[in-house]
Chain A
Amino acid sequence: MNEHTQDRRTFLQWILRGGFAALAASILYPVFRFLIPPKTVEANVSQVKLPFTRADIEAEPHKFKLFKFGREMGIIFIAPNGELDALSATCTHLSCTVQYRPDWQIIWCACHNGKYDLNGKNISGPPPRPLEKFAVNIVNDAIIVSKDA
């Protein structure tokens, strides 16, 4: 076998070895990245652990906070009797975000003066349907909100 063929053979070996190494790398890299867990806590839409405590809600001037619940928005507030309650925060009229009015003891929609009682029932103004009520549980200082069964 002449030198020429020997060179071609080594070149081919080089390509094959290099190629397989590159292929292995391009497969193993995504696999390793995949195995490293991402930063965000997973959102479980039937239950959500809120990223703040009751103390944070009490620190708010109007005693309520908005939170993300899957694709929806929720509102959690401290009722006059001290209970922590949560409702859907999307007004049933034209989907504005509602707020808690401790002075009126209602949930209020500023867009068209819609009013709901603290159980979510629409009591005045345009809203045609009540707000969905969520269940609130406190586990070791963490607030867990889940859909009412």
Chain B
Amino acid sequence: MKFVYMMLMAGLLVAATPAVVFSDNCLDCHQTFEDENGPSHLITKDVHYQNGLSCVSCHGGDSTMSDMDDVRKSSSFRGVPTYLQVPDFCARCHSNPDYMHDHNPRLPVDQLEKYKTSIHGKRLFEKHDTKVANCVSCHSVHEIGNAKLPYSSTYPLNLPFTCGKCHADSAHMAGYNIPTDQLAGYQVSVHGKALLEKEDLSAPACNDCHGNHGAAPPGINSLAAVCGMCHAIEAELYNASPHRAAFDELDLPMCVVCHSNHKILPPGDFMIGLTDPAVCGNCHSRDDGTKAPATIDSMKATLANLSQARDSARQILDDAETKGMMTTDEEFLMKEVDQSLIQTRTLIHRFDIDTLGPTAVQGIENARKVQTESAGLINQYYFRRKGLAVATLIITLLAIGLYIKIRRMGR
């Protein structure tokens, strides 16, 4: 009898085990009526689901139940949060250091705090604005992916469009008094092209300058620091230049004044000057009483000389190469010329006549060397052909002489 009882219990346990361990009735049931864009189907791509969490982990309830009414009545049921409740809903775990430590010690736990300092967070919590972004606006609801994975909405190649969903929509943004051309401008900018077309993941997306959760435009006086994260030398030079103090006083946004913020186009020597399309003329004029006009003229001339020298050198070098001469040494020197040009253009940001001198002079010197050597190679090319002509002449004369001799011998 005891044996039969034990077998019965064992049998029940075995039968019940699937129900306890394997059953997720939420998914089983919801998948029958939701289409492919429904949460129960999307969830397989979600990082939470892939790490063992499921519907009840966020929504509460009991996954063994098969009746929705029962689920709703269960004590732990949290249901669907409202738009305004979402940040706290996610923060229940994500701001809990102990919990996060056990699940993903690498993740920070300050997202909510930062969010509350952002424009989005302030408006959501203080003004109860439901048009601003909350967690799911950027991360999606049921297919939240690690930002390092290409399908994630926060992957760098996707991020500009995630932000653009609201920020490029003028209907949505009506009433906020901020422009909606950022995405469009960014897409044609050097950064946008580098990231979206060349897929250079090191190029900045929106969050690299604006922050992720504490998203806000960089302060007017902190732009050099933000741009300077990558463009360190330009920032250093700018901070030592007269523009720093001047722009601070006038509350002008540093780098953005000349380069714009989103639609940053490839800079060029054309930017230096007092007339369009140069940018100095936007503030300076020929008789504004500062050192500026003289500096502008000098910098413009220096760059023009160097640029011209570089182009001439390049042209002659290409000619020599097309003619089949070996140009490795000259190409090497040419790299240094290009390097000088890059350096000289960078030194512009000091806005001082004397700074550019040394590198420009070095660059022009090397360019002249390249030109001379390439010209030498081209001369060699023509020398060979002249030599050939001379040799052919000699041989032809000789051949004719020989032929005459042969004819004579025949007679």
**Residues in B neighbouring A26, C-beta threshold 8 A:** 387, 390-391, 394
**Residues in A neighbouring B232, C-beta threshold 8 A:** 110, 113
Q: Is the CB of B332 within 8 A of A23?
A: no
Contact residues of B between 103 and 139, Cβ < 8 Å to A: none
Interface string of A54-93 (1 = CB under 8 A from B): 0000000000000010010100000000000000000001
Q: Is the CB of B339 within 8 A of A96?
A: yes
**Residues in B neighbouring A126, C-beta threshold 8 A:** 200, 202-203, 230
Q: What is the interface size of chain A, counting residues whose CB is below 8 A from a CB of the partner?
A: 23
Instruction: Name the distance in Å between B125's Cβ and chain A's nearest Cβ.
Output: 35
**Residues in B neighbouring A110, C-beta threshold 8 A:** 232-233, 346
A93–B346 alpha-carbon span in the complex (Å): 18
Q: Is the CB of A20 within 8 A of B230?
A: no
Interface string of B172-210 (1 = CB under 8 A from A): 000000000000000000000000000011110000000
Does B219 have its Cβ within 8 Å of any Cβ on chain A? no
A68–B332 alpha-carbon span in the complex (Å): 8
Residue from A15, A96, A97 in contact with B397 in the complex, judged by beta carbons closer than 8 Å: A15
A16-B405, A71-B328, A126-B230 as given contacts; A96 in contact with B398, CB under 8 Å: no
Q: Is the CB of A125 within 8 A of B230?
A: yes
**Residues in B neighbouring A73, C-beta threshold 8 A:** 332, 335
Q: Is the CB of B231 within 8 A of A113?
A: yes
Residue from A19, A71, A111, A125 in contact with B398 in the complex, judged by beta carbons closer than 8 Å: A19
**Residues in A neighbouring B390, C-beta threshold 8 A:** 26
Residue from B202, B391, B404 in contact with A128 in the complex, judged by beta carbons closer than 8 Å: B202
Contact residues of B between 49 and 79, Cβ < 8 Å to A: none
Interface string of A3-25 (1 = CB under 8 A from B): 00000010010011001101100
A26-B390, A71-B328, A125-B202 as given contacts; A16 in contact with B230, CB under 8 Å: no
Q: What is the interface size of chain B, counting residues whose CB is below 8 A from a CB of the partner?
A: 28
**Residues in B neighbouring A125, C-beta threshold 8 A:** 202, 230
Does B13 have its Cβ within 8 Å of any Cβ on chain A? no
Does B401 have its Cβ within 8 Å of any Cβ on chain A? yes
**Residues in A neighbouring B332, C-beta threshold 8 A:** 68, 71, 73
**Residues in B neighbouring A9, C-beta threshold 8 A:** 408
Does B342 have its Cβ within 8 Å of any Cβ on chain A? yes
**Residues in A neighbouring B233, C-beta threshold 8 A:** 110
Instruction: Name the distance in Å between A18's Cβ and chain B's nearest Cβ.
Output: 8
Q: Is the CB of A16 within 8 A of B202?
A: no
A93-B202, A113-B230 as given contacts; A16 in contact with B339, CB under 8 Å: no
**Residues in A neighbouring B331, C-beta threshold 8 A:** 71
**Residues in B neighbouring A71, C-beta threshold 8 A:** 328, 331-332
**Residues in A neighbouring B335, C-beta threshold 8 A:** 73, 97
Q: Is the CB of B342 within 8 A of A111?
A: yes
A96–B233 alpha-carbon span in the complex (Å): 14
Does B229 have its Cβ within 8 Å of any Cβ on chain A? yes
Does B402 have its Cβ within 8 Å of any Cβ on chain A? yes
Does B395 have its Cβ within 8 Å of any Cβ on chain A? yes
Q: Is the CB of B342 within 8 A of A96?
A: yes
Q: Is the CB of B202 within 8 A of A19?
A: no
Residue from A15, A96, A97, A112 in contact with B202 in the complex, judged by beta carbons closer than 8 Å: A112
A26–B391 alpha-carbon span in the complex (Å): 7
A16-B401, A16-B402, A126-B230 as given contacts; A97 in contact with B339, CB under 8 Å: yes
Instruction: Name the distance in Å between B343's Cβ and chain A's nearest Cβ.
Output: 8
CB-nearest residue of chain B to A127? B202
Interface string of B211-252 (1 = CB under 8 A from A): 000000000000000000111110000000000000000000
Interface string of A108-149 (1 = CB under 8 A from B): 001111000000000001111000000000000000000000
**Residues in A neighbouring B339, C-beta threshold 8 A:** 96-97
**Residues in A neighbouring B391, C-beta threshold 8 A:** 23, 26
Q: Is the CB of B231 within 8 A of A112?
A: yes
Instruction: Name the distance in Å between A121's Cβ and chain B's nearest Cβ.
Output: 16
Task: Please report A residues at the B interface, Cβ cutoff 8 Å.
Answer: 9, 12, 15-16, 19-20, 22-23, 26, 68, 71, 73, 93, 96-97, 110-113, 125-128
A-B CB contact pairs (8 Å), 8 listed: A16-B405, A19-B401, A23-B391, A97-B335, A97-B339, A112-B231, A113-B229, A125-B230
Closest 3 A/B residue pairs (Cβ): A126-B202, A19-B398, A15-B401
Given A22-B394, A113-B230, 17 more pairs with CB closer than 8 A: A12-B404, A16-B398, A16-B402, A23-B391, A26-B387, A26-B390, A26-B391, A26-B394, A71-B328, A96-B342, A112-B202, A113-B231, A125-B230, A126-B202, A126-B203, A127-B202, A128-B201
